[in-house]
Structure 1
Amino acid sequence: MNKQTNKLEAVEVIKDRSNFLRGTIASELINPITGSITADDTQLTKFHGIYQQDDRDLRKERARQKLEPLYSFMIRARVPGGVMTTDQWLAVDQMADTFANGSIRLTTRQAFQFHGVIKTRLKSTVAAINEQLMDTLAACGDVNRNVMCTANPELSAVHQQVYEDAARISAHLTPQTRAYHEIWLDGQQVTNNQPKDAEPIYGQTYLPRKFKTAVVIPPDNDVDVLAHDLGFVAIVRDQKLLGYNITVGGGMGTTHGDADTFPLLAQTLGFCRPEQILEVAEHIVMIQRDHGDRTNRKHARFKYTVDDHGLPWLRDQLTTRMGWSLEPPEQAEFTHNGDRYGWRQNADGSWHHTLYVASGRVQDDQRQTLKTALREIAGSHKGTFRLTANQNLIIADVPEDQKDHIDDLLKTHQLTENISLTRSLSMACVAFPTCALAMAEAERYLPELIDHIDDLQLKHGIASRGIVTRMTGCPNGCARPFMAELGFVGKAPGRYNLYLGGNPQGTRLNQMYRENIDEKEILKQLDELFRAYANDAQVEEAFGDFVIRAGYVKAVEHGRQVHLQVV
């Protein structure tokens, strides 16, 4: 039974009283007494793409010294479809050094983040991002966030058309409040003589929770479209875009120990033509606005609205609002949900190179100088960069005569080393030290764990079989661990829940196999699993398929089954 009451969540009251996301943010930015902002404004700055954080590694020591936590802010910028010019990248590279901690974080939603921005630099950082024709508005908060799209550039004319549709959806669902320009860009403040702000799609209190949209072109499922609240699956016949299958009700986040929270995969609602996508997107968002749960944030995502009411109810709601009905869905099949590394040629004869970026962290370190390499490539290459949904980067639109030059730069900066297939399929969230929700390490620990996994795969002769592996520091699921063949979800420092049974197509949830185990037990379990996989797997059988066939976990039919450990 879902825990619902008639009392609104506190965040709903904050939004209602915020004057369309203004709150007291402007005055808090100039408050010299503290490096933080108030709790209410912390909720509102999320809509502006900003999260308040502190360094959890230093909390105890600063408390001992009777100092406030070392506050800083994460700023996330929207990049619809992940497409950036190289000039924009050069500007972002400079911003990271000027305003943040020097690194750039590529997210699992084709956006980028700065970490370590102090309060006095917030306004100048947001302004600098906007000067590059990008923004941070709606990168976070209870609105539709960055719209994702299959990242492969110019593989066909259809890919470009689909990307443009994703950008149209993003623009259409962007909040209309003038607060963003007032606070961050010195826009003119609203006076009593001016029309009040209005949000025709969102209303005064916006959505009950965040809302995520993705657009994908089969057979690639590089955006994990079924993990999203709303998906548009391109239907292509004879190299022409017929339209989109609409998927609804996906989402990853859960809460440990709360059986009423669970991940869900999206279901297919119907089919629409390309010219109908904005109307469909708008009305689905408005259905969630009107019917999503505002009394329990743990039950407020669109996935629960769909699960509670059912597809027929949603279809009727949508038909009534639009005045026309979706068509029956078309046949679509996914075969792959990772990135395809190295060089590939585009339809126009140009090339693109997909580069592995460990956990999306762009920085220079003792092993390789990734940040410098990308700066040098962007300085000589006038094409585009593409951020992928798997935290990687594509150097796109490369003329034939520039390939050798880029290859030379990649070799110079040690970016051509071979990595294991499993590492190439891995993702992790940020977790410690800055994420307030983290219960365990993720980004800082996963590379070390992958080293051990690689060793085990070599030991059992299965190094040629890549296993989709994802880790998060908490069950909110930012790296989509509940769809992985091998998923790790933080339970406490050094301890994780182990999940098995997702598939390489991104069309199946996994199931808990072991709960609250440390590294020693993780490696013991994987050693046994890999031995069985090596000995008993069928030809070309994926690891996620094998563990289900062999009975280690069950094939999940509904998200409620994900946390039911098989004994």
Structure 2
Amino acid sequence: MSEQKLAANEYIKARSRHLRGTIEEGLANSVTGAISDDDTQVLKFHGTYMQDDRDVRNERKEQKLEPLYSFMLRARVPGGVCSAEQWLAVDDISRQLTTSNSIRLTTRQTFQYHGIPKRNLKELVQSLDRATLDAIAACGDVNRNVMCNPNPVQSDLHAEVYEIAKHLSEHMLPHTQAYAEIWLDKEKLLSTEEEVEPIYGDTYLPRKFKMAVAIPPDNDVDVYTNDFGLIAVAENGQLVGFNLTAGGGMGSTHGEVETFPRLADDFGFINKEDVIKFAEAVVTTQRDWGNRVNRKRARLKYTIVDHGYEAFKAEVEKRAGVKFQPKRDVILQDRGDRFGWVKGIDDQWHLTFFIECGRIKDEPGKMLQTGLREIAKVHQGDFRMTANQNMIIAGVPESEKDRIEAMARQYGLLGDVLTTTREHSIACVALPTCPLAMAESERYFPEFMTKVEALQAKHGISELPIVVRMTGCPNGCARPFAAEIGLVGKAPGRYNLYLGASFEGTRLNKMVRENILEAEILAELDELFGRYASERNADESFGDFVVRIGVVKAVIDAAKDFHG
């Protein structure tokens, strides 16, 4: 009986010599702005994707020119925290080495650059390294940027949890020296055959892997949408451990019912000393049990569905050498950020800016990139990126508060009157750079949100927050399937409309209309907002309301309910 053929990426990883491939040769080839197909896959493990400008693709084809290739690089910034000095370097790199001349805050609490010419890629990585930043494992079939509540307001608990998240990120990095050799000109190993990946093995994970750490009552990191989650449990204000979740993931494929988004399962409580043991156990179980034949079914969520919850739990306990304890009671209430000034426990002030769709760039009347640069020149604290694509200027002393606020207003970082619905909204990049995008997202989303806000105002519900998210494809980067109103691109100008997720992020939504235009979406929302205004119960969220009145059935078991 012949051996089952693996997914193409498995062979690419196997012959990559621990993620080296022929990237160096490809970077040196000045004849083309591209690199080879195999290296395109390997390069993701270095935090970089090759893209082209789809706005000009047809025009260039008619001119018999190759696509306008460039690269996107996503940094690894555990918990989204960087210093003011680092932010100045991040800003300088964007202006010197990219054609987009902007910075984008991502939904995974880091930043990324678009429009990097191939000739600038190595210099860019080296510039990040000089600022003690990197892009190692920011993409690819490994654990990616570890998210953690960045809000420094509430307690010492937050600082302790952040350190655990940072340690988790470092511990889960690949051991290969490929990144240092290719980008930082470190001495090359004479042979990579003896190089060992103790957690990932020679072919790494079957698919990408995402981790997040939440601190109740906040669920700003959308912990249940991640492959692996930790929910902090405190007693008398002191961290004692975490509820562990596993098996979340947003990606799916239009029309293929064997694929579906899923929220993670609760597995139980673990002591804080056992975090690394359990993280390794979950990751290595996925490494060994995950689907390496069909990449569309390769995420951890499918591994748990296919093997069964109890079998997976038993295997994780076996590998960790520790049993799960009963889940502790926690309450998750909100996924949004706190805007404006908030005073922290150390008497320092923290100022959160709304950055629409996470795009930091200078435009008339809103010189966001210049404003953050000028603040970074005088600020002595941190810059903290949130999972909602916003920015916190953290650690501002009382004596500097007025100056920082004046600068923020001068450059358009403050001053807009925002609805709570817009404050809870996020969108992916989509066109023109994302190769997976079927429809607009970032470029269209602000205009769409204005129309949603007008409908809320029409029905007198502007003060009620609704989580709205949009993506250009079903890959789910902006976590649309966990939104009370989710829009997922199907074709130019057309979206699938999903409704019914919970406000706090503990239930998925479900499709109610397929492949519809803006007018149809707004008509649907107009009717539902009218009913919500007159029929809602006290303190009832929009997602709970549409489930209660029967617009959609609650998704309890994603494998059975999401498409059913």
TM-score w.r.t. the length of structure 1 is 0.97
SS in 2 for 1:487: strand
- Whether 2:22 is the aligned partner of 1:31: answer no
1:466: which partner in 2? 465
> SS of 1:56's equivalent?
coil
Question: Is contact 1:156-1:347 (8 Å) kept?
Answer: yes
CA distance in 1 between counterparts of 2:181 and 2:332 reads 44
Alignment partner, residue 187 of structure 2:
188
Maintained 8 Å contact 1:386/1:396: yes
The equivalent residue for 1:21 is 19
| CA-CA distance at 1:12 after TM superposition | 0.1
Equivalent residue for 1:275, pick from 264, 269, 273: 273
Any idea what SS the aligned residue of 1:496 has?
strand
Tell me what 1:200 maps to. 198
- C-alpha contact 1:423 1:450 (8 A) present in aligned 2: yes
What letter matches 1:355 in structure 2?
A: F
Whether the 8 Å CA contact 2:247–2:304 is kept in 1: the answer is yes
- Aligned match of 2:257: 259
Letter in 1 for 2:306: D
Structure 1 counterpart of 2:292, one-letter code: R
Aligned to 1:143: 142
Given residue 92 of structure 1, which amino acid in structure 2 is its aligned partner?
A: V
> Displacement of 1:400 after TM fit?
1.1
Counting matched residue pairs gives 560
1:236 match: secondary structure: strand
Query: Aligned partners of 2:561, 2:415: CA distance in 1, in Å?
Result: 38
Query: Is the contact between residue 280 and residue 320 of structure 2 (CA under 8 Å) also seen in structure 1?
Result: no
Q: Which amino acid aligns with 1:525?
A: E
1:189-268 pair list within 5 angstroms? 189-192=188-191, 196-268=194-266
Counterpart of 2:501? 502
1:41 is aligned to 2:49: no
**1:513 and 1:331, CA in 2 relative to 1: closer, same or farther beyond 3 A?**
same
d(CA) in 1 for partners of 2:142, 2:253: 21
Q: Specify the alignment match of 2:484 in structure 1.
A: 485
SS at match of 2:436: coil
What's the CA shift for 1:138? 0.2
Question: How far apart are 1:366 and its partner, in Å?
Answer: 2.2
| Alignment of structure 1 residues 118-129 onto 2, 5 Å | 118-129=117-128
Shift of 1:404: 0.8
Q: Deviations over 1:267-314 (max 9, x none)?
A: 111211111111111111100000000000000000101111222111
Percent of aligned pairs sharing the same letter? 54
Check if 1:428 corresponds to 2:390: no
CA contact (8 A) 1:271 1:326 kept: yes
Query: 1:372-393 CA deviation, whole Å, 9 max, x = no partner?
Result: 1111111111100110000001
Q: State how far apart, in whole Å, the 1-side matches of 2:294 and 2:343 are.
A: 49
Cα distance, 1:447 vs. partner?
A: 0.3
Q: Secondary structure at the match of 2:512?
A: strand
TM-superposed CA distance for 1:561, in Å, is 5.3
CA offsets 1:232-271 (integer angstroms, 9 cap, x no match): 1100111000101110100000000000000111011121
Deviations 1:475-495 (A, max 9, x none): 000000001011000000000
Structure-1 separation of matches of 2:212 and 2:562: 26
CA shift, 1:539, in A, is 2.2
* Contact 1:21–1:179, Cα closer than 8 Å, also in 2: yes
Q: Encode CA deviations 1:173-226: one digit per residue, 9 max, x unaligned.
A: 00000111000000101114x873210000000000000000111110000000
Contact 1:487–1:500 at 8 Å: present in 2 too?
A: yes
Inter-partner Cα distance in structure 1 for 2:514 and 2:202: 42
* Residues 32 and 143 (structure 1), Cα distance of their counterparts in 2 relative to 1, 3 Å cut: same
Q: Deviations over 1:330-353 (max 9, x none)?
A: 111101111111111111111111
SS at match of 2:120: helix
Letter in 2 for 1:307: V
Letter in 2 for 1:333: I
After superposition, the C-alpha distances for 1:129-158 in whole angstroms (9 at most, x for unaligned) are 111111101000000000000111152111
2:484–2:509 contact (8 Å) kept in structure 1:
yes
Cα distance in 2, alignment partners of residues 323 and 159 from structure 1: 28
**What is the rounded CA distance, in whole Å, between the counterparts of 1:152 and 1:329 in structure 2?**
25
CA RMSD of the aligned region, Å? 1.2
Partner amino acid for 2:524? Q
Once the two structures are TM-superposed, the CA of residue 57 in structure 1 deviates from its matched residue by 0.4
1:332 partnered with 2:330: yes
Give distance in 2, aligned partners of 1:249 and 1:535: 38
Name the SS of the counterpart of 2:366 in structure 1: coil
- 8 Å contact kept, 1:438–1:474: yes
Query: Contact (CA 8 Å) 1:511, 1:561: kept in 2 or not?
Result: no
Separation in structure 2 between the aligned mates of residue 270 and residue 391 of structure 1, nearest angstrom: 30
| Paired AA for residue 161 in structure 1 | E
| 8 Å contact from structure 1 (residues 432, 438) kept in 2 | yes
1:299-338 matched pairs, under 5 angstroms: 299-338=297-336
Matched to 2:472, the amino acid is G
Give the letter for the 2:117 counterpart.
I
Alignment of 1:51-130 (within 5 A): 51-100=49-98, 101-130=100-129
**Equivalence for 2:521:** 522
- Residue 531, structure 1, aligned to residue 530, structure 2: yes
What TM-score results when the alignment is normalised by the length of structure 2? Answer: 0.98
Shift of 1:403: 1.1
Question: C-alpha separation between the residues in 2 aligned to 1:465 and 1:22?
Answer: 51
Aligned-pair CA distance for 1:407: 1.1
- In the alignment, what sits opposite 1:177? 176
Higher deviation after alignment, 554-563 or 426-435: 554-563
State the secondary structure of the residue aligned to 2:314.
Answer: helix
Q: Any gaps of 5 or more consecutive residues in structure 2?
A: none
Q: Contact 1:509/1:562 (CA < 8 Å) preserved in 2?
A: no
Please say if residues 510 and 562 of structure 1, whose CA atoms lie closer than 8 Å, have aligned partners that are also in contact.
no
Structure 2 CA distance for aligned equivalents of residues 523 and 270 of structure 1: 42
> Where has structure 1 moved over 6 Å in runs of 4 or more?
none
Letter in structure 2 aligned against 1:77? A
Distance 1:195 1:64 in 2: 46
